[in-house]
Amino acid sequence: MGNGVCERSRRRSDVISLVNILPACATLRALLQAREIHGYAIRNDLYWDVFVANAFIDVYAKCGMMEDALKVFQGMGNKDVVSWNAMVTGYSQNGKFNEALELLNEMKKHKIELNVVSWSSLIAGYAQHGHGQEALDVFRQMQLAGSDPNSVTIISILSACASVGALSQGMEVHAYALRTCLLISDDDCDEEEDLMVQNGLTDMYSKCKYFNSAHLIFRSIPVKGMW
């Protein structure tokens, strides 16, 4: 009885250690170390834990190894919403948009919600790779799904609007930013996010040749350290 309790306690400690170590590997893009940890997890039968599997999906995605991430995902006995979102985010960040959209459709069939981080990653991926219209299409899907954009979404969609000259959509995003406190510098708002959105709006209006609006937003940006 005591041995069983000790074994469960050891395994739980191992799981906690892996879940803490793997994000560091992801940040450092330490693929070799991640593979070594992967081998340890297999040898010690730690794959039963969904948090461990999700951490491996994240580290492989961050290292650009989506085939490995997919193997982990497909081998999971129990996937949670984090598992699905990690795969969509990984595909998006690695420019594999067809795979991301296929997975998105699978999620819809299973009524699994895509979180704002994954929506934003997909939109940002399209925008960064010059696919402005596709980014706008995904943004519309996000709105229809009832997911509220955050500042990363707004910045990415403004980039998409700028790339395809979508002035009307850009103005709608501008209005949304005003309604949601993304353009008001006060104690309740993140000033860095505020500045990034303002810069995105300036760029969008300039590229859409709406120079008066671009100039007004530029003039509204506070200049710090001048006094």
pLDDT in tens, 25-70: 999 999 999 999 999 999 988 878 899 999 999 999 999 999 999 9
Side-chain-facing half-sphere of 206: CA atoms under 13 Å: 12
Q: Is the pTM of this model over 0.75?
A: yes
Neighbours of 217 (CB within 10 A): 21
Give dist(CA 179, CA 128) in Å, integer. 26
Range from 33-42, 75-84, 155-164, 182-191 carrying the lowest mean pLDDT: 182-191
pLDDT, residue 225, reads 41
Mean pLDDT of 162-183: 88
Instruction: Determine contact, residues 153/182, Cβ cutoff 8 Å.
Output: no
- The full DSSP string for 80-144 is -HHHHHHHHHHHHHTT-HHHHHHHHHHHHHTTPPPPHHHHHHHHHHHHHTT-HHHHHHHHHHHHH
Dig out the tokens for 136 from the structure: 């706008």
In 3-state terms, the chain is what percent helix, strand and coil (to 5)? Answer: 75, 0, 25
Give me the phi and psi of 149, to 5 degrees please.
-65, 150
| Residues near 102 by beta carbon (within 8 Å), at least 6 away in sequence | none
Dig out the tokens for 167 from the structure: 């002035």
pLDDT, residue 46, reads 85
End-to-end CA distance of the chain: 71
Indicate if the pLDDT at residue 145 is higher than 70. yes
Domain spans, the chain: 139-227
Give dist(CA 149, CA 205) in Å, integer. 20
Give me the phi and psi of 130, to 5 degrees please.
80, 15
pLDDT, residue 226, reads 38
Which phi-psi region, left, alpha or beta, contains residue 130 (left: φ > 0; alpha: ψ -120 to 50)?
Answer: left
Mean pLDDT of 113-141: 91
Closest-CA residue to 194 (of 214, 180, 208) = 180
Length of the chain: 227
Give me the phi and psi of 77, to 5 degrees please.
-70, -40
Dig out the tokens for 31 from the structure: 């693929």
Coil, helix or strand at residue 189: coil
Indicate if the pLDDT at residue 75 is higher than 80. yes
